[in-house]
Amino acid sequence: MRGGWCPIGLSQDLPAGIAAPVILDGRELVAWRTGEGVLRLFEDRCPHRGMRLSFGFVRGDALVCLYHGWRWGADGGCRAIPAHPELTPPKSLVVPRFAVREAGGLVWAALGDGPDDPPPETPADVRPLATLAIDLPADVVSAALGAGEERLVEKEEAGFALLLAIQPVDARRSSLHVLLRGADASPLAALDAAEALRMRIEREGAPA
Amino acid sequence: MSLVLHDWELSADAYRARLALGMLDLPYTKVPVDVVPGRETDTPAFRALSPTGAMPVLVEGDLVLSEIGAILIHLAERHDPAGTWLPREPARRARCLDRLLFALGSLRACDAARDAALFETPSRIADPLAEARAALRVLESLLARRALAGEAFLAGEEPTIADLAAFPAAALAVDWGEDLALLPKTRLWTRRVRALPGFTTMPGVPEFL
Amino acid sequence: MTRDLEPAVRDAWHVLCRSADLAPGAATRLRLLSRDVEVARNAAGTVSARLLDGEAVATREAYGHVFACLGTPAAPLFDIAEFAEDDRRLATCGAVRVRASGLRLVENFLDMAHFPFVHTDLLGVEERPEVPRYDIEIRRDVDEVWATNCRFWQPRAAASSAEGQMSEYLYRVAGPFAVMLYKTCPADPSRFDVIGLLIRPAEPDLSYAYAFVLVLDEASSETAIVHFQQTIFLQDRIVLENQRPRLLPLAPNAETPTRADMSSVAYRRWLKEKGVRYGTVEGLAGHGEAEGVP
Ligand code: FES
Ligand SMILES: [Fe+2]
């Protein structure tokens, strides 16, 4: 699993100019988009004093740390240290970056260098529905969905063709990013079906 | 008639009132109440204003209100001539009140979780953390539905007092260790509330929202 | 029961609670350095404390707070001379719980560079973020860390100030978990206001912060002064609970200090010299209960 592509969210939930925390496989990461829309995934820890960068904010093409305002560029390099306006930050001052890609309305990440293969394709007729948090580890959710090793599965639920992307969060939690196939299906009714599915997985998967 | 708010900077309910006063652009006077550590809410003088010790208290002339729901409804009914914060049309009004009562009901577990995390304030709720997380999940679901219907706020296209009542629960969740990482629609909605004219922040509301 | 604690922490004074929280005849149980301590005040007003397994521990009552030492006090309780000046007002802010090492709290308190970003428009503005050079020394005679000649531009530096000023600061680390600052007083520029942060380390990564203010401010109500400090501290608390790791790293390459962080560099060096491990990354192996530390 480590090194392979994992879904971390719906593209529509990460608009330009925002930073959001992502917990993937127990690691704290921050996904952010520059004002122009370039998507990046960093370690969620500022090299200065360890502040989580997901608490910062995006200014133009930089992610600004909440604590002391150090600016981090899309390449991970430090652009400015406000306490020392005259200082040019050394090139060696960088935040670790991770591979991130978008495909079919989903955002995918890899903890290793990023696999050579692109993330899985989604069919053309899908619409994003919602992200559902689940209080169970991803392997239990995958087993309940019969997903095997796949991170993306299609599931027929109450007459709706749901596309489910499974994100391992940590030892007790996962996220289901839900998309809907078919142009005429009602998204609200499909969300009801997806939430009913979640309820069933949590009931059945709950440790006795 | 001048408005007086008996206020504590760190109270989530007081913040709900300050948000409404700010959004409605109403001038008011703050009277600071020493809730922690002074427990001024237990004094006879304060109980004369607020029989249960609930805070904040809004005073407008003869009117003394100490239930936050009543404060929000009163401010909207009395001071919002356009009638957008509490719609007058019955169905829209009912939807707004439905979300308002959710925000001041189940979602208030977030306040209990926060008070416990900051001050170890005991709560009547058995497991504030679990209930707060469950309620935030409901909020996320409500907002996901609104998003699918093309609506930006809890009770429709326009913000209402339901959004103001719910906002502190979500926006102050970091105070009890909930970073909303798994609740993307909630995060985006808090950004929309933040962007409203008249928005006021408070310590604990993170910059990222 | 306290043998596993290093002397620098075991033999130091730590705050237990506010004096006002302990009425005559009252007793309360508190966590200090991963131990349960019961502190009581008798009818005559005298405070005493013991570990829950029975051993009595040394206590002192001063500065509006109750202090304890779990070992043999290495020195008397640190002196804050300004408490003897009777035109000053004391406001104690009570306890705030923080899921972070107490050492991280001290370091945050010593730091000016975060004012414009964390205390925006109160203690700093984004347009003026520069931290001018200041002086730092470890005073061997009293075993304290001092930062002097600190200056920072502030829009509203205290509850009583309405306009901006170039504030002058002195910082003083009086113990591993006790820190205070002396700052230009808006009411009388020839004297300093004193603001202190006393930390009760309950676990390596769980702290209770007791802030106090000793000011020359006749205008503001005590409640207004307390609310101002609480506002400031809650802004810091977001940072403190979200620094990673929650424990303070003493290894020089773990984080990236700059010149503005000289006080933190000196504080860490001082901690290391004294052999402080409680609340540090390096001490993690030595102290049981730091579960959940990422
Ligand atoms: S911790 Fe990020 S700028 Fe200091
Ligand atoms: Fe601060």
Pocket test for ligand 1, best of A44, A51, A53, A87 (most atoms within 8 A of CB): A51
| Prediction ipTM score | 0.96
State in Å: Cα C127 to ligand 1 middle: 17
Q: Do B37 and C20 touch (CB under 8 A)?
A: yes
Residue A142's closest CA among A125, A108, A165? A165
Residues of C in contact with A83 (CB under 8 A): 113, 129-131, 258-260
Count contacts between B and C (CB, < 8 Å): 59
What is the arithmetic mean of pLDDT over A77-85? 98
CB-based contacts of A130: which residues, under 8 Å, 6+ apart?
A: A10, A178, A191, A194, B140, B141, B144, B147, B148, B185
Tens-place pLDDT, residues B11-66: 999 999 999 999 999 999 999 999 999 999 999 999 999 999 999 999 999 999 99
A6 residue type, one letter: C
State in Å: Cα B176 to ligand 1 middle: 22
Q: What share of chain A in percent tops pLDDT 70?
A: 98
What's the confidence (pLDDT) of residue A191?
98
Question: Whole-number mean pLDDT of chain A?
Answer: 95
Tens-place pLDDT, residues B31-40: 999 999 999 9
* CATH architecture label of A126-205: 2-Layer Sandwich (3.30)
Chains that touch A (3 or more CB pairs under 8 A): B, C
Tens-place pLDDT, residues C13-39: 999 999 999 999 999 999 999 999 999
- Report the predicted TM-score, pTM, of the whole model to 2 decimal places: 0.95
Tens-place pLDDT, residues B82-97: 999 999 999 999 999 9
Q: With a cut of 90, say whether residue C261 has pLDDT above it.
A: yes
Tens-place pLDDT, residues B181-207: 999 999 999 999 999 999 999 998 987
Is A68 touching ligand 1 by the criterion CB < 6 Å? yes
Tens-place pLDDT, residues A137-180: 999 999 999 999 999 999 999 999 999 999 999 999 999 999 99
C34 secondary structure, DSSP code: T
Contact C57, C5 (CB under 8 A): no
State in Å: Cα B75 to ligand 1 middle: 41
Count the Cβ atoms, other than its own, within 10 Å of residue C124.
27
Residues of chain A with CATH 2.102.10.10: 6-110
φ, ψ (nearest 5 deg) of residue B29: -105, 135
Q: Do C255 and A48 touch (CB under 8 A)?
A: yes
Q: Which atom of ligand 1 is nearest to the CA of A51?
A: 1
Q: Do A20 and B141 touch (CB under 8 A)?
A: no
Tens-place pLDDT, residues C164-178: 888 899 999 999 999
User: Domain C7-69: which topology?
Assistant: N-terminal domain of TfIIb (2.20.25)
Contact A180, A123 (CB under 8 A): no
Contact A83, A68 (CB under 8 A): yes
What's the confidence (pLDDT) of residue A52?
98
Domain at C81-287: CATH code: 3.90.380.10
B178 residue type, one letter: E
pLDDT band at C286 (very low <50, low <70, confident <90, very high): low
Residues of C in contact with B9 (CB under 8 A): 227, 230-231
**Chain A CA closest to residue C253:** A47
Tell me the three state secondary structure of residue B186. helix
> Closest partner residue to C96 among B38, B118, B179, by Cβ?
B118
State in Å: Cα B3 to ligand 2 middle: 32
What's the confidence (pLDDT) of residue B208?
62
Taking the alpha carbons at both ends of chain B, their separation in whole angstroms is 35
What's the confidence (pLDDT) of residue B209?
53
The ligand that comes nearest to the alpha carbon of residue C233 is 2
Q: With a cut of 90, say whether residue C155 has pLDDT above it.
A: no
- C40-74 per-residue burial string, b: 16 or more CB within 10 A, e: under 16: bbeeeeebbbbbeeeeebbbbbebbbbbbbbbeee
- CA separation for the pair A35, B42 (Å, rounded): 50
Residues of B in contact with A66 (CB under 8 A): 206-208
CA distance A55 to chain B (A): 5
Which has the minimum average pLDDT: B124-128, C8-12, C284-288?
C284-288
Contact C108, C171 (CB under 8 A): no
Q: With a cut of 60, say whether residue C81 has pLDDT above it.
A: yes
Count the Cβ atoms, other than its own, within 10 Å of residue A179.
25
Residues of chain A with CATH 3.30.70: 126-205
pLDDT band at C293 (very low <50, low <70, confident <90, very high): very low
- CA separation for the pair B51, B63 (Å, rounded): 14
Q: Which atom of ligand 1 is nearest to the CA of C117?
A: 3
Q: With a cut of 50, say whether residue B132 has pLDDT above it.
A: yes
Q: Which atom of ligand 1 is nearest to the CA of C243?
A: 1
What is the arithmetic mean of pLDDT over A44-72? 97
Domain ranges of chain C: 7-69, 81-287
Q: Is A22 on the interface with B (CB under 8 A)?
A: yes
Tell me the three state secondary structure of residue B89. coil
Is A95 touching ligand 1 by the criterion CB < 6 Å? no
Tens-place pLDDT, residues B134-171: 999 999 999 999 999 999 999 999 999 999 999 999 99
Comparing B104 with C291, the larger pLDDT belongs to B104
What's the confidence (pLDDT) of residue B10?
96
CA distance C181 to chain A (A): 20
Lookup: tokens for C16: 């237990």
Q: Do B37 and C241 touch (CB under 8 A)?
A: no
- CA separation for the pair B14, C202 (Å, rounded): 30
Q: With a cut of 60, say whether residue C180 has pLDDT above it.
A: yes
What is the arithmetic mean of pLDDT over C95-112? 98
Tens-place pLDDT, residues C197-234: 999 999 999 999 999 999 998 888 999 999 999 999 99
Residue nearest to atom 3 of ligand 1 (CA): A68
- CA separation for the pair B196, B186 (Å, rounded): 16
Q: With a cut of 60, say whether residue C287 has pLDDT above it.
A: no
Residue B205's closest CA among A14, C237, C155? C237
Q: With a cut of 80, say whether residue C159 has pLDDT above it.
A: no
State in Å: Cα A68 to ligand 1 middle: 5
Tell me the three state secondary structure of residue C168. strand
The ligand that comes nearest to the alpha carbon of residue C209 is 2
What is the arithmetic mean of pLDDT over A128-138? 97
Chains that touch C (3 or more CB pairs under 8 A): A, B
Q: Do B208 and A175 touch (CB under 8 A)?
A: no
- Provide the chain A residues 50-89 that lie in CB contact (below 8 A) with chain C: 50-52, 55, 65-69, 81-85, 87
What's the confidence (pLDDT) of residue B207?
72
> Closest partner residue to A66 among C117, C255, C258, by Cβ?
C117
Q: With a cut of 50, say whether residue A62 has pLDDT above it.
A: yes
Domain at A6-110: CATH code: 2.102.10.10
What's the confidence (pLDDT) of residue A6?
96
Residue C107's closest CA among C157, C62, C147, C48? C147
Q: Is A96 on the interface with C (CB under 8 A)?
A: no
